[in-house]
Structure 1
Amino acid sequence: MKLSNKSILVTGGAGFIGSHLVDRLTLENPDNMVVVDSFFLGKEENLNDAMKNYPNLKILNQDCSNYEQMKSIMENEGIDVVFNLAVIPLPACLEKPAWTFKHNVDITTSMCELVRNDIFDTLIHFSSSEVYGTSVYAPMDENHPLNGTTPYAASKASSDVLIFSYCETFGIDASIIRPFNNYGPRQNDRSYAGVIPITINRILRGEAPVIFGNGKQTRDYLYVTDTADAAINIYKSHKTRSKVLNIASGKEVSIQYLVTSIAKYLGCENRIVYEPPRTGDVKRHIANIYSAEDLIQFKPAVTFDEGLIKTIDWYKSASKENELKNELSTAVKNLPISVN
């Protein structure tokens, strides 16, 4: 299946993974492409590259849980395919658990109802490896128990079950992509940031890197462009319909190794600070990706170390750019004011 003659909508498209997916979708030359984002975490600047490659890209500020508003957008734009990445992130659920759970499920419900009512044709929904919780067995395949330990994980697991119920009951055309721990340029480094951008930015500020817990907890890291490629290939393969596919590297990396690697590459001389474990933190994650290899011939193109260097270099460049902007802003403020 091609995307070249389709009208595509990417919810959450101004976010980290979403913006990389939009970048990749521009290469498919779709007839029309729309990004809908509430900008809870997304940033319009994340779409700068996409706008250069696809000048007609439409960017709309909208809560994706609002059925009527999304229906209006989809009808106006003649949407055929939705890549659904709209989500309230995990750390938010530690502050607002009920709101996070309800909002994430409401987004999915809205998408399911819209596709059921033939407002669009195909839903590619982004789940999360958090639905599994800490591994009961390794590597974790798609049949692994859903033992998520946070309200965020519960919201993503509930969303997956909801989609499968619509596939079974109403025959909607949908596939679920279940990414593990993505990393790369543009990952959120503000509120609710992940360990990689937090660690990089701490070291760039001259602060000591921090590990919560003993550092032995593991993650399965995948460079973000590999996930974007996989999402498109999942759409293109009818074999993936009504299925969920793990998208990951199939290799586990300890937080200790991760933080040490970042510190070494940046020449950090500060010793790692160890803090108490975080609430709901998963102890072990490693994916079985046999289904993705079989159904879409998935194979990561970027190794962990290659991706980490690319990521660190991007944040270093962004940090220098921000420093220059701040220096320029300060210089402008300090200019003498002439009075005629």
Structure 2
Amino acid sequence: MKNKSVLITGGAGFIGSHLVDQLIYEQPEKITVVDNLFLGKDANLNQAIERYPNLKIYHNDISQIDQLKEIIINESVDIVFNLAVIPLPASLEKPAWTFSHNNDMSVSVCELAREDAFQTLIHFSSSEAYGTSICGPMDEKHPLNGVTPYAASKAACDLLVLSYCRTFGIDASIIRPFNNYGPRQNEGSYAGLIPITVNRILQGLPPVIFGDGKQTRDYLFVTDTARAAIDIYYNTNTRKEVLNIASGREYSIVSLVELISQYLGFSGTILNDSDRPGDVRRHIANIYKAEDMIGFKPKVSLEEGLRITVDWYKSYFQEKSKAVE
């Protein structure tokens, strides 16, 4: 990537900012972030800016194709990593808007790839596109049975990218991450289970589990996903393909909450609440394809990753509390 100009849509978000961190090691000529800050935060890029002062950041909505095209031309972009997304919880409140907006953003990058505005697209999918596991572990041929409008939008976006590959010959690969966790995961609106649980315990409140807690997820530390995305770019045999990126192991929600509680010294009662709408019952990935095509192997265990994540949130929430005081 040393002579390349790289653009990351959604680059101020959780996974996107970690991808920016990893891309800096590749020493590209330019790194550009486009993020409208629906979920992302400029603060997520503070470390990246320290290491890469020339990082360009645009606060645009990539569904506006003319704006995106202007940025791509101005920055002479060669590679686009597309992580821009409206998240799952938003689709429970604004289903039509979430579905259409996610598709509009993918249409923008696909159209610009078709017009040769840039060379290569690495598109981020989601394991939510599969829905609940019918036959696990779930490989890339598992039916796309997404439950929520968000899941449907991600499946539609994947099919869109593949259609542009097959019809127009764009140079694109699709990475389908399972449940990512780590520092900088959104703790405010649409927060994930781990930051919510850590925050509650630090406030002296008991953790809450929705449903019976026996739902399973395939958790992967965020830096493993970021590294895999870069490896997918380098391995051109992944073009026109979808690759699961996950640990290949499943953990119940209750076991995860218990691990966090144990690490934080919480020994009280864990509360149960009603099931969340659209919650999948089982997720576990088959990652043989990624192992074969890019030599993928997770480097961070759940225990190590949780320790790093919980320690980060402890510091983050403490600093946030001091700022309020």
Same-fold status (TM-score > 0.5): yes
Task: Give the alignment partner of residue 246 of structure 1, picking from 244, 247, 254.
Answer: 244
Task: Give the alignment partner of residue 177 of structure 1, picking from 175, 178, 202.
Answer: 175
Deviation at 1:315, TM superposition (A): 0.2
Residue 22 (structure 2) aligns with = 24
Letter in 2 for 1:223: F
| Separation of aligned partners in 1, 2:245 and 2:316 | 28
Deviation at 1:325, TM superposition (A): 2.0
Deviation at 1:270, TM superposition (A): 2.8
Matches within 5 A, 1:297-312: 297-312=295-310
Deviation at 1:9, TM superposition (A): 0.3
| Separation of aligned partners in 1, 2:61 and 2:173 | 22
Q: Which has the larger radius of gyration?
A: 1
More displaced, 316-325 or 165-174?
316-325
Residue 70 (structure 2) aligns with = 72
Residue 212 (structure 1) aligns with = 210
Task: Give the alignment partner of residue 38 of structure 1, picking from 36, 42, 49.
Answer: 36
The alignment's C-alpha RMSD in Å is 0.6
Matches within 5 A, 1:318-333: 318-327=316-325
Residue 117 (structure 1) aligns with = 115
| Separation of aligned partners in 1, 2:80 and 2:170 | 13
Matches within 5 A, 1:71-220: 71-220=69-218
| Separation of aligned partners in 2, 1:74 and 1:326 | 39
| Deviations 1:10-56 (CA, angstroms, capped at 9, x unpaired) | 00000000000000001111101100001001000000110011100
| Separation of aligned partners in 1, 2:189 and 2:81 | 25
| Deviations 1:261-311 (CA, angstroms, capped at 9, x unpaired) | 111111113311101100010000000000000000000000011100100
Letter in 2 for 1:59: I
Query: Which consecutive unaligned segments of at least 5 residues does structure 1 have?
Result: 328-340
| Separation of aligned partners in 2, 1:149 and 1:247 | 20
| Separation of aligned partners in 2, 1:270 and 1:207 | 9
Identity of aligned residues (%): 66
Letter in 2 for 1:259: V
The count of aligned residue pairs is 325
Letter in 2 for 1:185: P
Residue 9 (structure 2) aligns with = 11
| Separation of aligned partners in 2, 1:324 and 1:133 | 41
Residue 333 (structure 1) aligns with = none
Equivalent position SS for 1:35: strand
Residue 233 (structure 1) aligns with = 231
Equivalent position SS for 2:121: strand
Equivalent position SS for 1:94: helix
**TM-score (normalised: structure 1):** 0.95
The answer to whether the Cα contact below 8 Å between 1:207 and 1:270 also exists between their aligned partners in 2 is: no
| Separation of aligned partners in 2, 1:95 and 1:208 | 27
The answer to whether the Cα contact below 8 Å between 1:124 and 1:176 also exists between their aligned partners in 2 is: yes
| Separation of aligned partners in 2, 1:320 and 1:275 | 27
Letter in 2 for 1:209: P
Query: Which consecutive unaligned segments of at least 5 residues does structure 2 have?
Result: none
Equivalent position SS for 1:284: coil
Residue 331 (structure 1) aligns with = none
| Deviations 1:71-113 (CA, angstroms, capped at 9, x unpaired) | 0000011000000000000000000000000000000000000
Residue 223 (structure 1) aligns with = 221
| Separation of aligned partners in 2, 1:264 and 1:316 | 14
Q: Tell me, yes or no, if structure 1 residue 295 matches structure 2 residue 283.
A: no
